[in-house]
Amino acid sequence: MKEQTSQQNRNRIGLYSILFRRLNEIKKQYHKEIISFPHLFEKLCRNFSISKQECWELLFLLREFELIEIVKGHGVKVVRNI
């Protein structure tokens, strides 16, 4: 029973995993170091059915974990490959 539960946990894809995958897709798609806010909001808000305000909250959370850098007036720079 314990083996089955731990196997299910390893196979589970969380929302943060999907978020990191989407950020990497956006970065590759636009071939730029900084992802502009309009492109970021378009992709993330549609994929997760969230508002722009909720997207900002996610971005601030990622910034606190030093995964991204928010470039004022321009967009987001992925600091660590996620």
Domain boundaries, the chain: 2-78
Per-residue DSSP letter, 13: P
Q: What is the pTM of this model?
A: 0.75
Is the CATH number of domain 2-78 1.10.10?
Answer: yes
Each residue's pLDDT expressed in tens, for the chain with a length of 82 residues: 555 555 555 555 788 888 888 888 888 888 888 999 999 999 999 989 999 999 999 999 999 999 999 999 999 998 876 5
CA distance 65 to 42: 23
The DSSP code sequence of 51-73 is: -HHHHHHHHHHHHHTTSEEEETT
Q: Which residues, other chains included, contact 37 with Cβ-Cβ below 8 Å and sequence gap of 6+?
A: 74, 75, 76
H or E stretch at 44:
helix 37-48
